[in-house]
Amino acid sequence: MAQSTHVPGTYDVHPSIVYVQAILANLSAKTGHTAEEWSDLLRREAPADPKAWLKARGLGATQAGLVLKRASVDPGHAFDDTPEGYLAAAPGHVDGQYSGRKATLRPLFKGIVQLVRGLGPDVKVCPCETIVPFYREHVFAEVKPFASRLDLGLALGDPASVQDPTGSLKETGGFAKKDRITHKLEVTGEADLKIALPWLIRAYEGDQG
């Protein structure tokens, strides 16, 4: 297994963690038990269908999913939805994305992160298992590796208001589907980082509340 090249402090807690922690904090008041208590009950009862068993006792789908993870019934990291657990798991997400043939793309990924960090102190770099999104108030860009390139997704809004004389920018169809990410750039070398910077600035500045 390749050694992680993660530098402490590189990544930030994903905004969804706050949402998850609020659910966990309110679980006892809403269902009568904490997540840990539900996990103990689940292990003792060992039902054939754990999720259905929990839902039959009044837990919603999200609540049940969180309990299943803590009871080690559902695959995944049991505590990667805590701030500490998420930050511990984040470097592994990036290492997994940039392994094997994709390892050569990691310097370009680092270059994009450096550009994004330079946009402002409120930028958050929040790795997921297959992509790395960048947040201000909302996600304004994200990067995903492919065999020979990175796709840099950008939240630029209505394509009618976006003019790209170089032809490098591509529409994703996201605007019609009301997705945040509406455009993308294919990044294959250092020259593409220079093309990306003004679009990153525009996406960042467009995400103000």
pLDDT for 73: 60
Q: How far apart are CA 153 and CA 187, in angstroms?
A: 10
Q: CA geometry: angle at 43 spanning 41 and 48, to 5°?
A: 105
How confident is the prediction for the chain on average, in pLDDT? Answer: 90
Q: Is the pLDDT of residue 84 over 90?
A: no
Contacts made by residues 159-168, CB under 8 angstroms, sequence distance 24+: 159/183, 166/195, 168/192, 168/195
Give per-residue pLDDT as tens, 85-138: 889 889 999 999 999 999 999 999 999 999 999 999 999 999 999 999 999 999
Contact yes or no for 154/181 (Cβ under 8 A)? yes
Q: How far apart are CA 11 and CA 9, in angstroms?
A: 6
Give per-residue pLDDT as tens, 130-175: 999 999 999 999 999 999 999 999 999 999 999 998 899 999 999 9
- φ/ψ of residue 188, rounded to 5: -125, -10
Give per-residue pLDDT as tens, 179-205: 999 999 999 999 999 999 999 999 999
**What single letter denotes the amino acid at residue 100?**
G
Strand, coil or helix: 132: strand
- Kindly list the domain boundaries of the chain, sorted by start residue: 16-70, 89-205
pLDDT for 8: 44
